[in-house]
Structure 1
Amino acid sequence: MIPRMTNPTGDLPLPLLIICLVSINPLPTASGVTGKPPDLSEYDVYEDTVTPSGLVPVSQQVIQRCDYDPCREDQTPCLTLSAATGCSCPGFTLDSDIPEAPKLKSVSYNGSGVVVRWCAPYSQVTTYVVAVEGREDELVLEETRRSGIVQDMDHRAKVCVFAVNSAGKSDGSCMMYRPVDNWLPLTSGLIGGAVGLLLLLLLVGLLWRRRRQKDMETRNV
């Protein structure tokens, strides 16, 4: 007689028994570690910030701008400063390009001639040319100049300044010159002198009259 196998868990069916055992002892994960996966937030994550010895990342390099003022007279050209010190000249065009137009600042009379002042463009320039409308002669100045004096201007005319290099001549920056402005200081001086002379004559007349009255009083006594 074959002995009958008994269910150690009682009357539970065998499939239900297997499910209970699996739930109590979870299967190992693919990595061979049982339980919940590790929390990545518990670990510190570092970026690799190692740089080659002696090299500085481009993002950390500080490029100093050249000490260059386009309106300053007789200064070293910015590209010369850049070649000597490694400073930056942003926006400069090459000498193979026609230069941009300079910026004309003022045209005024200084007592001996008409002074023309301008600021340099951000371009390579070899010379500047100052031209007056209706005149054939032009004033040619070197690249470090920011002003020039035009002689013998006694009429209203348009004055222009150009920048020149090996590629050509820039557009002109122009301003109208009005000679009537030249007479304002002279007129003011003449009026001031006339008023001063009149006051002096009036003062002399008052002193002479007072002295005369004093002499008459002395005679009467």
Structure 2
Amino acid sequence: MAPSRNVPLMAICLLLISGSICQPTTYQTGTLRSRSIPSEALELPSDDYYDETEDNPTTFPPETVSVNRGTLKRCDYNPCEEDQPPCAELRATNHCLCPGFTSHLEAPQAPFLKTVAWNGSDVILRWCAPYSFVKAYKVTVGGTERQRFGMDRRSGGLGPIENVSEVCVVSLNDAGDSEASCMMYQPRDHSLSLKAGLIGGALGLLLLLLLPVLLWRRRQRGKQQTAITMTDTIDT
């Protein structure tokens, strides 16, 4: 009776043993797999700033390209020279480079006042233009506007200035006025030179009037001496 009781137990053991033997091994030699990586992650990011196949590549200003390549020269533009065309016209006609100018939508920079001096008949001032879009120049004397000049002018006459005054020049365009560039003007004492000239002229005129009189008196003295000499000769 004892062997019959062990039959079910043995069957169960055989089933367990056979199941463990038939089960395939998960890790086989040469078949170890890693987690798959999406192919998108292996692609390099695209260049957002440069594309050799781009139909409309970014174009740079002519000045920048020309400077890097060394193909253009600076325009023959002098901000202190009068009656010359604007640098923009020189650039268009001569294909040259202009210095950086501010836009016509901005108030211009201040000009540079060089000299304020008396020039025989009136006060002349000279200035240099700023690197800005300018439509006119305004000149003030003692805070009061005296003259306006065109955009191509670099000098102008103000007439006489009798007292010590601050002379200023301002550049203008439609966007506004620039800051003022100023100098103090010290008038000369022109009355002294005028008096000296008048005195000199009067002395010259007086000499011209006295010269005939002196010559006449000299002749008279010569005649008298001749007459005396002849009298003495007759008496002897």
The residue that corresponds to 1:130 in the other structure is: 139
* Cα distance, 1:191–1:146 mapped onto 2, change above 3 Å: farther
* Cα distance, 1:59–1:88 mapped onto 2, change above 3 Å: closer
What SS does the aligned partner of 2:188 have? helix
Structure-2-length-normalised TM-score: 0.57
How many residues align? The count is 165
Deviations 1:20-61 (A, max 9, x none): xxxxxxxxxxxxxxxxxxxxxxxxxxxxxxxxxxxx996552
2:101 & 2:225 partners in 1: Cα distance? 87
Structure 2 residue 221 is matched with structure 1 residue 213: yes
Structure 2 residue 167 is matched with structure 1 residue 159: yes
What SS does the aligned partner of 1:180 have? coil
* Cα distance, 1:129–1:197 mapped onto 2, change above 3 Å: same
Counterparts of 1:192-207 in structure 2, within 5 Å, are 192-194=200-202, 196-197=204-205, 200=208, 203=211, 206-207=214-215
Q: Which has the higher helix share?
A: 2
- In structure 1, runs of 5+ residues without a counterpart are 1-55
- The one-letter code sitting in structure 2 at the alignment partner of 1:77 is P
Counterparts of 1:116-127 in structure 2, within 5 Å, are 116-127=125-136
Match of 2:176 among 168, 172, 175: 168
Deviations 1:63-113 (A, max 9, x none): 222222222222212222112222222243332333222121222334543
* RMSD across aligned positions (CA): 3.0
* Cα distance, 1:109–1:83 mapped onto 2, change above 3 Å: same
Assess if the C-alpha contact under 8 Å between 2:124 and 2:155 holds in 1: yes
Assess if the C-alpha contact under 8 Å between 2:123 and 2:158 holds in 1: yes
* Cα distance, 1:84–1:133 mapped onto 2, change above 3 Å: same
The residue that corresponds to 2:151 in the other structure is: 143
Between the two proteins, what is the percent identity of the paired residues? 51
Structure-1-length-normalised TM-score: 0.61
Counterparts of 1:81-92 in structure 2, within 5 Å, are 81-92=90-101
The residue that corresponds to 2:122 in the other structure is: 113
